Structure 1
Amino acid sequence: MITTHPFDDDKLREECGVFGVAGAVDAAAMVALGLHALQHRGQEAAGISSFDGRHFHNHKALGHVAGNFDSEDTMRQLKGDWAIGHVRYATTGETALRNVQPLYAELSSGGFAIAHNGNISNAMKLRHDLVRTGSIFQSTSDTETIIHLVATSRYRTLLDKFIDALKQVEGAYSLICLTDSGMIACRDPLGIRPLVMGRIGDAVIFASETVALDIVGAEFERSVEPGELIVVSGGEIRSHRPFAEKQSRPCIFEHVYFSRPDSIVDGSSVYSVRKAIGAQLAMENPVEADLVVPVPDSGTPAAIGYAQQSGLPFELGIIRSHYVGRTFIQPGDGVRHLGVKLKHNANKPLIAGKRLVLIDDSIVRGTTSLKIVQMMRDAGAAEVHMRIASPPTMHSCFYGVDTPERSKLLAAQKSIEEMRQFIQADSLSFLSIDGLYRALGEASRNDDRPRYCDACFTGDYPTTLTDLAERDQPNQLTLLAERVAG
């Protein structure tokens, strides 16, 4: 079967997206709209949980938001003025309906629904301990661990139980929880995963990105701060800071690729940052060429910045079709390779005889870049120079991003010259790590106190990775400890 996403299959996969509405008529319908705007963050499954003051209502489905949450019958069942939703790309647990969020459970305090963006890096250890003491898990998702920690906590109030649970988990999380008494939104102490708050009338909205606020007409109020826990209940909003204060380390790849370009992340326009990244790339890695061509769609803002800085013309040398669905061509049909052109095609009259600078956001396995370069050669390009708007991706992510194991990351196995040979480009260059920080307004990367989580580039993980350490051989533990900042 051809996936019809031959260029997208070699990207780092976005984690998940969360959206919550506290106190609005037809809250579930508003959540469905918000999830549409966050579809790029998770395309395997979607779910919505609502509360009408007496009962919880839940609907989950595999596939996109559209087709699962656009029928009147479905939305009519999701009653209430309070609702949370989730779009999922699996980073832990298989793709199955039991893992689709929000996860829901009946606790001693009442109903509890939770939507999670991120990854709990000690979930397996916690799960083992919980099962040993009698917990019965219904999914393979790391998120369910939080539910069991809440359920088994010895604290009295639900809020204290929830805080107790979070103090036991490691890793990255932005959470929105729906309870009988209100809504809880929180972000991990390092702020690795994003979460913002907005308002529409008297309703409070939480979302992974500001673009989801835009689609429902909500005004962006502020980001949920790292380590902050916000409770919306009885018309009141209360902010709690139950964790020891730490220097924040938000994910730098949100600016490079994950977030939509029309979002605001950490106070900066994603589109403007990506243009600045492209300009920095041009300053660091110039090349004599005729055209700057983006690899659509994620490479486009950086390509604009590169073109403006270099003075080279910007052109759409690759045309992307946005109307391709799934096809079912068997591998033995002899036309599997033609699937590339179902979604992307070379603009031959523009490319023929030209020296091209191709701009993409990253190289993961390298298979995508090889296809793109070959497509340009076949279209008659005289030269193909690849410029990547991020440093080499050399390490796996353990904070909610689906990355291949390190042995499958091209940059972890080959030098840049070997990578160039592999993708068959005339030249290949990456943005430096200091250049990436400069594009984000920093003078350079402060190795002692880096502003962002950039572990996929540097191997500098900002938290302990208990499950990984226990899985690895003993001789790897020392190496891991040396690169993990406590």
Structure 2
Amino acid sequence: MQQIISLKGSLDEEQELGIKGIFPEECGLSAAVNIPFASEYAFKCASAQDHRGEKGVGIVSVRKSKFYIEKRRWSVILGLPGVNFKKDLPGKTAIVHNRYATEGDSDSPSNVQPLVFQETSKGSFVLAHNGTMNNVRSIKKDLMKKGVAFQSTTDSEIMAHLITHSNEDTIEKAIISALNQITAAYSLLILTPNKLFAIRDRFGIRPLSIGKLKSGFLVCSENYAFDQYPSSSYLREVEPGEIIVFEKNKDSFESIKYAEPDEHFCIFEGIYFSHPRTTYKEYYNEDFRQELGKQILIENPDLQGDFILPVLDSGKHAAIGLFKKSRIDYKEYFLRKHKTSGDPVSRSFTSATYQERKEVAFKKLHLRKDKIRGK
């Protein structure tokens, strides 16, 4: 019999009900393609998406068929001290990965993406992944039986080995073969010396967008990141079941439909995870969240209260929507401590354990107890 659980929002529910790790697949992808000093542009886009992952950051650029790599086990907002982007990360194409714990151990250095694979049967390539691939354990067992050695515990490495051990004769065909063996959800960036592949699974669960900048392109999990550059423009989403292929020094891109789309976009992106100013289907997340707040009153017309108190920042827009619809007074009695260079963790959700999430929540939120006492 199906069990239906009603959640009240308690910090203890996750532990009591054994539901921790429900959404373990959020990360951030960024790329700059065919743009001089691409690493600087891609890293700035990644910094705008720091809310998607604060447990590690990795960047890989390519010039003259050579990959240049920098990885850190800290938030992207702490930057890369001592790294000269133009000298240490040269080239006109670069990709960045913001890490939030996926199926692997978030504290392991080997799990910090992008993952680099040199001189394989399909050539050298780099892979960065946002998502959780649901059927990979059985695939990993099969690969290990064939003698494949794994260096990390990430889903991403399994995808890479499916590519390198494919019987197909080109990396494009090998990628498609690998994709068709994996169950959603994922968005991917795969970088070769001459091409960048931007990919979404057929369900379109995780986001990925394309922007135009100068003579080249930007690719990011969220189109809000493009706004770091006033001269950039949003082009479109990578569609479900689509591979976008960017080639070196080309001012256009190719679209490959590798699977029949069946869109099931993750509603958690709109409700909470994505930036309020990111759009989906040309609709801002902050507007969507306000509509959800209004819907609370529509479904509960007799709702009453002393005031509406948002838990900042994620609850703010829904609370405003409820206020507009109900006219119940709106108060911000929580004061939120925003991140500083010495305190990079800004989202309790992206902490690795229940205890860490609880500690971050209490650390970043201060409540005016005198204002709610007796309410």
Q: Per the shorter chain, which TM-score range?
A: 0.7 to 0.9
Which residue does 1:417 correspond to in 2? none
Which residue does 1:238 correspond to in 2? 254
- List per-residue Cα deviations over 1:75-99 (Å, max 9, x = no partner): 6311111100101111211121101
In structure 1, what residue type is equivalent to 2:131? Answer: G
In structure 2, what residue type is equivalent to 1:320? Answer: R
Determine what percentage of the aligned residue pairs are the same residue: 34
Unaligned runs of 5+ in 2: 1-9, 15-19, 345-357
- If the length of structure 2 is used for normalisation, what is the TM-score? 0.85
Identify which range, 295-304 or 48-57, moves more after superposition. 48-57
- Checking the alignment, whether the CA contact within 8 Å between 1:209 and 1:265 is kept in structure 2 is no
Which residue does 1:228 correspond to in 2? 242
Which residue does 1:94 correspond to in 2? 105
Shift of 1:291: 1.5
Give 1 or 2 for the bigger CA radius of gyration: 1
Which residue does 1:401 correspond to in 2? none
The separation in 2 between residues aligned to 1:200 and 1:20, in whole angstroms, is 12
The separation in 1 between residues aligned to 2:73 and 2:13, in whole angstroms, is 19
Q: 1:104 aligns with which of 108, 116, 125?
A: 116
2:147 is the alignment partner of 1:134? yes
- If the length of structure 1 is used for normalisation, what is the TM-score? 0.66
Q: 2:324 aligns with which of 297, 303, 308?
A: 308
2:233 is the alignment partner of 1:212? no
- Checking the alignment, whether the CA contact within 8 Å between 2:61 and 2:69 is kept in structure 1 is yes
SS in 2 for 1:293: coil
- List per-residue Cα deviations over 1:449-472 (Å, max 9, x = no partner): xxxxxxxxxxxxxxxxxxxxxxxx
Q: 1:14 to 1:109 in 2, by over 3 A?
A: closer
Which residue does 2:366 correspond to in 1? 345
Q: 1:216 to 1:114 in 2, by over 3 A?
A: farther
Which residue does 2:216 correspond to in 1? 203
Which aligned pairs between 1:160-309 and structure 2 lie closer than 5 A?
160-217=173-230, 218-234=232-248, 235=250, 236-243=252-259, 245-285=260-300, 286-309=302-325
Unaligned runs of 5+ in 1: 1-5, 328-336, 352-375, 384-486
User: Alpha carbon RMSD of aligned pairs, Å?
Assistant: 2.4
Q: 1:272 to 1:14 in 2, by over 3 A?
A: farther
Shift of 1:288: 2.2
Runs of 4+ with >4 A deviation = 6-14, 323-327, 337-341
Which residue does 1:365 correspond to in 2? none
- List per-residue Cα deviations over 1:299-324 (Å, max 9, x = no partner): 00000000000012212111111157
Which residue does 2:33 correspond to in 1? 22
Identify which range, 184-193 or 230-239, moves more after superposition. 230-239
The separation in 1 between residues aligned to 2:13 and 2:274, in whole angstroms, is 17
The separation in 1 between residues aligned to 2:80 and 2:105, in whole angstroms, is 22
Shift of 1:266: 3.0
- List per-residue Cα deviations over 1:347-399 (Å, max 9, x = no partner): 356x2xxxxxxxxxxxxxxxxxxxxxxxx4xxx1x33xxxxxxxxxxxxxxxx
Shift of 1:8: 12
